[in-house]
Structures are given as C-alpha cells and as structure tokens.
Structure 1
Amino acid sequence: MSVARKSESIGAFRKASYSNADHACVEAALAGRYVVARDSKFVRGPVFAFSGSAWETFLGAFK
C-alpha cells in the first residue's frame, strides 16, 4: 500500500457492483497515480491508497 499526497486530487468514487442490501461496500477512485479506496458508510473517513500493481494484487485476492 502506498501513501498518496494530500495535494493529489481524488476523482469521483465508484461503488463496488457487489454491494449488499445495506449498501455497505468499498468505493474506489483515481487519485493521480494511485487508486484510493474507502468504506461507503464513512465517506468522510480515511482512505487507503494503492499503487496500480498493489490494487491489482488486492483485487486478485477476491477473484
């Protein structure tokens, strides 16, 4: 996992297609050269920043 600089603008978050009935899921957005992810229930909470290769590895764990 990487640390994105605060100066990098975050694009629009996209909700996972597999969200449950309570809409509890992970949302992701592009932030410069990173992918950032957050809990959809806490939109003003912290985000995790991943490099492109780390994001691919993260997603691969769920396929």
Structure 2
Amino acid sequence: MATIKAVAVVEGIKVDGGAPIFYAKDEAELQQLAFNLEKILDVNAHVLKPGTFILVDHKG
C-alpha cells in the first residue's frame, strides 16, 4: 500500500490533511522543491494537479 509522505504546493492553494505541507512561491520553485523532497525522503513525486505535487512512498 502506498503512503503519502508530504504535499508540495504553490502558495495560495488550499490544502489540508495529515501529511507535511511545503509551500513554493511559483511553479518553478515548486518543481525544484518536489525534486529535492523526492531525493531527501526517498519517495516519488507525482503531479496531482497544476500547482500540487504529492510525495508518495510506494514501498509500503
């Protein structure tokens, strides 16, 4: 079962839930933030919708 470890969004997008939420000032910063979190957390970053990435652990 996959687990959402974090969410990364552009500022101004409303998000809530139990995972840590990281904010970026624009789409370019969001891409870099998601890439860095993907490496640091050893997870996969997926675009949920424009301006929103979810970072998912598929290892279970």
The TM-score, its normalising length taken from structure 2, stands at 0.30
- Rg (Cα) greater in structure: 1
Bigger RCO (CA 8 Å, 6+ sep): 2
Name the structure with the higher strand share. Answer: 2
- Relative to its length, the structure with more helix (as a share) is 2
